[in-house]
Amino acid sequence: MDSILVTGNGPLHGQIPIAGAKNACLTLMPATLLSDEPLTLTNAPRLSDISTMSDLLASLGAEVRSLRDGQVLALSGHGLDNHKADYEIVRKMRASILVLGPLLARTGHAVVSLPGGCAIGARPVDLHLTALETLGAEMDLRDGYVHARAPKGLRGGRIVFPIVSVGATENALMAATLARGTTVIENAAREPEIVDLAECLVRMGARIEGAGSGTITIEGVERLGGATHPVVTDRIELGTYMLAPAICGGEVELLGGRRDLLGAFCDKLEETGVSIAETPGGLRVSRGDGRLRAVDVATAPYPGFPTDLQAQMMALLALAEGVSVLEETIFENRFMHAPELARMGAEIDVHGGTATVTGVERLRGAPVMATDLRASVSLILAGLAAEGETLVSRVYHLDRGYEQVVRKLRGVGARIERIKG
């Protein structure tokens, strides 16, 4: 099993290109099931999760071709001939549930395994199922599979989510494009990935208003066509690499970065004493001498502080002067990185959904183990600032969400290497 060796060696300088968003691309890819015409996605990230979604779509009869070293995906649902998303593929990734809405909308039936994914707390699919039932679907859960039917097609309806759910909003949005009549989604997720999906669907011929707000209105159409669509910048990769010069010192430009994708995160980062400036090519992050200041952070749905940057922010605050409180409001059991950071000398006290971090002057390199995708990169960030060597094991998580992390960090001066296991 591979590991990553990081040796702390001071400030970072240079540029890091930011890839297309994993979470956006994983949502855009199933949209090809809504049409028999080609869908081309540019600026696609080269990640294992993208390969898993490609395998899932191919198993359903869709055509998936990877072009330009994986940065362009040529998709087509014209050969769709299977309606079952099998457990052996779905278990690898929770985003697999996003084929349910498109399959049901276009063919009238779907059989989709209940998904797997990272062990960071319960992420039930009941909101997805309830939304589709509102559109007239009949649902039956048996033998670990969702059996969905809409023999007369879907019809518009009013979907009111009791809590904000990105995935359920995406599934409902895709299904509603081919439903008869008008669908209104209330308490909809507002993430940039939702806006990106809506823009792609509109390019395919959908009629959608309000994406990016709490209420989305969709007028169903008889069919969707093909389109070419650029995947939005990955805001989580962006935030992660913004933290690299913040934790180590130096100055790094994040190419393709946009502040509007991470407003709440940028505000908190500036409160610690980090400087952020917009450039013609993206964002420049710099940190001068001296320790950073402690800040309190509470995760929240967009436009709040992203839960997917909580672990990385904890690594930074472990070295800030003072006491920081991090409150995790999205997922339970998402502080599994805290004991690993403690192995490096961090002082972190976890009680339920709250972690109290007392900043220390230095971290020490140590053998640590990644527990999930974001935890793995938080340990790499800590290793960049630690004295000595940090060996991060179980880094297969990284391949799901970070494209060429070793090459990108080496490009700005980090001492980091991947060790084959």
List of residues 6+ apart from 88 with CB closer than 8 A: none
Dist. CA 117–CA 53, nearest whole Å: 13
Q: Classify the C-alpha dihedral 34-29-89-169 as positive or negative.
A: negative
Q: Helix, strand, coil proportions of the chain in percent (round to 5)?
A: 35, 30, 35
List of residues 6+ apart from 185 with CB closer than 8 A: 131, 159, 161, 169, 172, 173, 176, 215, 216, 217, 218
| Positions at the binding site for phosphoenolpyruvate | 22-23
Closest by Cα among 285, 312, 315, 310 to 297: 310
Q: For residue 83, how many other CB atoms are within 10 A of its CB?
A: 19
**Cβ–Cβ under 8 Å, residues 99 and 119:** no
Q: Which residues have a catalytic role annotated?
A: 118
List of residues 6+ apart from 242 with CB closer than 8 A: 252, 254, 257, 262, 265, 266, 269, 276, 283, 285
Q: How many residues does the chain have?
A: 421
| Rg of the chain taking only CA atoms, in angstroms | 22
Distances (CA, A) of 232 to 26, 39, 159, 244: 12, 16, 26, 22
| Positions at the binding site for UDP-N-acetyl-alpha-D-glucosamine | 94, 123-127, 308, 330
Dist. CA 354–CA 334, nearest whole Å: 10
